[in-house]
Amino acid sequence: MDLDALTGCLASPACLVTQTTSGFIIGMLLFLVAVGLTLIFGVLKVVNFSHGAFYMFGAYFAMTAYQLSGSFALAVFCGAAGTALLGLIFERVFMSRVYGADVLMQLLVCYAFVLIFDDVVRMVWGPEFRSMGMPAAFQVAPLFIAGGVVPPYYLLLIGVALVAAVILGLGLARTRLGKVIRAAAHNPGMVSALGINTGLIYGGVFALGGMLAGLGGALAAPVRSLTPGMGFSVLIESFIVTVIGGMGSILGALIGALLIGMIRSFGSLGFPLFTEGLMYLFMVIVLVIRPTGLFGKEVV
C-alpha cells in the first residue's frame, strides 16, 4: 500500500489529469464491450458468454482492413460493421435456437463458440500475437494539459466511445425503434402480436451489441497486441462492469466501466499490489448494498 503516492497524486493537477484520462481510456474501452453485453441481456435475457469474441474479431478485422487499405477510419468501420454482421448471423443461426432453453444450455452454446471463434482466428490469422501499429496521423507527441500527459489518440478513443454512448442512450429513449426494442425486452409476446417482427429485433440487438464490442476491439487494436483468446480477459472485466452497473442498464454500464477505469488508474498508485483485488472488492460491496447493481431494476 502506498497511500503517499495516492494522496500526492490527488494534490497534483498534472497527476490528476494523467490518471483521470488513463481511467477514462480503460473505462471507455470496457464500456463498449460491457454495453453490448448488457444490451443483449436486457432485451434477449441471454448472458452472451461469447461476447469477448466480438471484441477480438473487431480488432482482427480492423488490423486486416488497415493493412490492406492503410486507412484507419476504414479499419474502424470494418471492425464495427464486420462484427455487426457476425453478430446477426450468430444470433439468427445459433442463439435464436436456445432462447427458450435452460440457462446452462445457453452457456454451453456460448462457450462452444468461444472456443470455435478462437480457433477460427488461429486458422485465419495464425496463433502468434500480432500488432496493428499506431496510424501515422496519431504518431505525434502527447498533449500536456495542466502538466498531465494526454495522448491525442486516446482523446479520439474517448470521444468515439462517448458519442456511441450518447447515440445509444438517446436512440433507445427517444426513437420509435428504441421504444420497440424496449417494448420487446418488456413483453415480446405483445410486441409480436402487434405485427412487429421480434426475430428481426432480436437479431438487430445482437448485431448492435456485437458491433459495439467490435468497435471497442478496433479502437484498441493500435495499442494492444492481438492474439486468439484476447477477448476473454476483457469479458471478465465486462462482467464486473455489468454486475456493478446492473444487468440491462446502459447508464449502469457507463458508470460501472468508468468506476473500474478509475479504480485501476488510481488504485495502481495507492494499492499497486491490490489493484485487481480492489475491483472485485468494489463489486462485492455494491452487491451487498444493492444486489441488482447500481442501476439495475428488481426483477419481479
154 binds another protein (CB under 8 A): yes
Figure out which of the listed residues 107, 223, 251, 278 binds another protein, where binding follows CB under 8 A: 223
Figure out which of the listed residues 25, 43, 213, 254 binds another protein, where binding follows CB under 8 A: 25
Q: How far apart are CA 81 and CA 147, in angstroms?
A: 38
265 binds another protein (CB under 8 A): yes
Partners of 33 in beta bridges: none
Q: Which stretches within the chain are classed as H helix?
A: 3-11, 13-44, 51-69, 72-93, 103-125, 152-174, 176-186, 188-193, 198-220, 231-245, 250-270, 275-289
Nearer to another protein, 35 or 269 (CB): 269
How many CB atoms sit inside 10 A of residue 208's CB? 21
259 binds another protein (CB under 8 A): no
Figure out which of the listed residues 4, 128, 199, 280 binds another protein, where binding follows CB under 8 A: 128
Nearer to another protein, 228 or 245 (CB): 228
CA angle 236, 239, 243 (to 5 degrees): 145
In terms of Cα–Cα distance, which of 169, 165, 205, 175 is closest to 42?
205
234 binds another protein (CB under 8 A): yes
- Residue 151 DSSP one-character state: -
Figure out which of the listed residues 167, 276, 291, 297 binds another protein, where binding follows CB under 8 A: 276
Sign of CA dihedral 178, 181, 186, 192: positive
Site string for another protein, 168-197 (x = CB under 8 A): ------------------------------
- By CB under 8 A, the count of residues binding another protein is 48
51 binds another protein (CB under 8 A): no
How many CB atoms sit inside 10 A of residue 167's CB? 10
User: Of the listed pieces 68-76, 97-105, 148-156, 280-288, which binds another protein according to CB under 8 A?
Assistant: 148-156
275 binds another protein (CB under 8 A): yes
In terms of Cα–Cα distance, which of 204, 205, 218 is closest to 56?
218
Q: What separation, in Å, do the N-terminal and C-terminal C-alpha atoms of the chain show? A: 43
Cell of 162: 462517448
User: Of the listed pieces 35-43, 100-108, 120-128, 183-191, which binds another protein according to CB under 8 A?
Assistant: 120-128
Figure out which of the listed residues 127, 171, 277, 291 binds another protein, where binding follows CB under 8 A: 127
Residues near another protein (CB under 8 A): 5, 9, 15, 18-19, 22-23, 25-26, 29, 118, 122, 127-134, 138-139, 141-142, 149, 151, 153-154, 220, 222-225, 227-230, 233-234, 264-265, 267-269, 272-273, 275-276
